[in-house]
């Protein structure tokens, strides 16, 4: 009998424990006046994900400026995973990044935020007690009203002469020149030192100290997208151009002797009779680079600062040397023929030709043996040396002065 009573007491104690626990739960779940927060107060409320995983810029931010920094952080524990996607121009791109050594901070490999983009962040963290928390956030970046681009010379995949200068002409004035210069990379294979030079606020040229070696492959990387070029003006390009340097050809025009010597790889190919600028319209001295080649073009003196002295609609075999209008071109209209005898042009270098352009004329031969990027040097003309900014005239500037034109000291 005593044995039974002891069992009964044990059962009663167990029942009392169950009742006590049930009562606690009943109170915690709102069956008493304590309300729905009683369980949290009893066991401790779990922290919200936004308190565990902190993301900047803040979730829902708009018009985040380029100077903003994307960071994912936890105060304790560590980040288990971070997944960031950039949506831009209807394309989704995974943003690569890295964790700090303690695992508490994630940052992107490229610290610059893209403009006109939406970023989506998904992060999972583990706290010091082994509990996991997930966080989702998104924000959008600033959409600029104005963009700038750079027009590259020479053309992509072209074969050029050894005097070619890489030239970027910008469609807007650049005031943040150092930032833009950092975003342009020009490299060569085989390697050679290449340096930039600014001409004003809208043009940036690159060249080596000496003419390119034949066979060199040159690559131009434009990483201008979202680079600030001026207040409120940002770049829009992320593109690569390349070209190959062909054979070495340079021509020497002697305005006093009325001749042009054409040399290929140092060997004299031909000596052609020419006519240069007349005494009242002399030809520039100095090194000029063939900028473009036109089988036929119109030449109107009024477009280059003259009056109505000439307007020829069908000038054959024209090779542009300067932006101001200096050409080597075919001439079929001068009579008696001045080639090799006298200078009668308005500043250009004329070669004998026929109307419509003949392949067996001096002008036709020179055109067929030339490339954009070839050098034509004029000497013994009663004029100044062509300005380095006129066309691709940078070879008339010594290396020290050229390098001094960089914004990166």
Sequence-distant (≥ 6) Cβ neighbours of residue 224 within 8 angstroms: 148, 149, 150, 180, 183, 184, 235, 236, 237, 238
Active site residue 329: yes
Residue 198, both tokens: 């600014």
Q: Which of 197, 317, 329, 346 is catalytic?
A: 329
Q: 64: which DSSP letter?
A: B
DSSP tally for the chain: helices H, then strands E: 6, 28
Residue 68, both tokens: 């903003």
- Bridge partners of 87? 92, 118
Beta carbons within 10 angstroms of residue 216's beta carbon:
20
Give Rg (Cα) of the chain: 37
Q: How far apart are CA 107 and CA 233, in angstroms?
A: 26
| CA 262 centroid distance within chain | 36
Judged by DSSP in three states, 5 sits in: helix
In the block, residue with structure tokens 């007349």:
278
Q: How far apart are CA 113 and CA 165, in angstroms?
A: 32
Q: Which of 281, 348, 369, 380 is catalytic?
A: 348
Q: How far apart are CA 51 and CA 135, in angstroms?
A: 10
| CA 209 centroid distance within chain | 23
Active site residue 348: yes
Judged by DSSP in three states, 391 sits in: coil
Q: How far apart are CA 280 and CA 278, in angstroms?
A: 5
In order, the DSSP letters of 241-281 are EEEEE---EEEEEETTTTEEEEEETTEEEEEEEEE-B-TTS
* Residue 190 CA neighbour count, 13 Å, CB half: 4
Judged by DSSP in three states, 4 sits in: helix
Residue 154, preceding bond cis, omega within 30 degrees? Answer: yes
Q: Is 72:123 a contact under the CB 8 Å cutoff?
A: yes
- Bridge partners of 146? 233
The catalytic residue positions are 329, 348
């Amino acid at each position: 009998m005593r044995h039974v009573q002891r069992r009964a007491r044990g059962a009663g104690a167990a029942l009392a424990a169950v009742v006590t626990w049930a009562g606690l739960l009943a109170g915690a779940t709102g069956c008493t006046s304590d309300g729905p927060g009683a369980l949290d107060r009893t066991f401790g409320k779990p922290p919200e994900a936004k308190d565990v995983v902190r993301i900047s810029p803040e979730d829902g931010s708009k018009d985040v400026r380029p100077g903003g920094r994307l960071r994912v952080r936890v105060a304790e524990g560590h980040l288990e995973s971070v997944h960031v996607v950039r949506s831009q121009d209807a394309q989704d791109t995974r943003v690569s990044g890295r964790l700090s050594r303690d695992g508490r901070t994630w940052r992107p490999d490229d610290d610059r935020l893209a403009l006109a983009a939406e970023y989506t962040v998904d992060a999972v963290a583990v706290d010091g007690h082994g509990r996991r928390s997930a966080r989702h956030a998104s924000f959008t970046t600033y959409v600029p009203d104005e963009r700038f681009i750079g027009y590259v010379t020479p053309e992509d995949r072209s074969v050029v002469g050894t005097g070619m200068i890489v030239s970027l002409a910008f469609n807007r004035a650049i005031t943040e020149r150092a930032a833009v210069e950092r975003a342009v990379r020009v490299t060569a294979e085989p390697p050679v030192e290449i340096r930039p030079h600014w001409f004003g606020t809208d043009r940036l040229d690159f060249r080596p100290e000496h003419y390119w070696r034949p066979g060199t492959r040159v690559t131009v990387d434009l990483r201008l997208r979202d680079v600030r070029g001026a207040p409120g003006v940002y770049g829009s390009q992320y593109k690569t151009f390349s070209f190959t340097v062909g054979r070495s050809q340079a021509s020497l025009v002697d305005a006093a002797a009325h001749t042009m010597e054409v040399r290929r790889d140092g060997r004299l190919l031909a000596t052609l009779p020419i006519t240069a600028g007349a005494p009242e319209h002399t030809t520039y001295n100095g090194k000029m680079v063939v900028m473009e080649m036109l089988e036929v073009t119109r030449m109107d003196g009024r477009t280059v600062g003259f009056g109505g002295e000439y307007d020829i609609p069908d000038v054959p075999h024209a090779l542009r040397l300067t932006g101001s209008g200096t050409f080597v071109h075919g001439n079929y209209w001068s009579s008696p023929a001045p080639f090799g005898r006298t200078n009668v042009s308005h500043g250009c270098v004329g070669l004998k030709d026929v109307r419509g352009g003949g392949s067996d004329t001096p002008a036709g031969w020179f055109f067929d043996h030339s490339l954009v990027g070839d050098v034509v040097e004029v000497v013994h003309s009663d004029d100044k040396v062509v300005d380095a900014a006129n066309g691709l005239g940078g070879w008339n500037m010594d290396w020290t002065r050229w390098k001094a034109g960089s914004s990166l000291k």
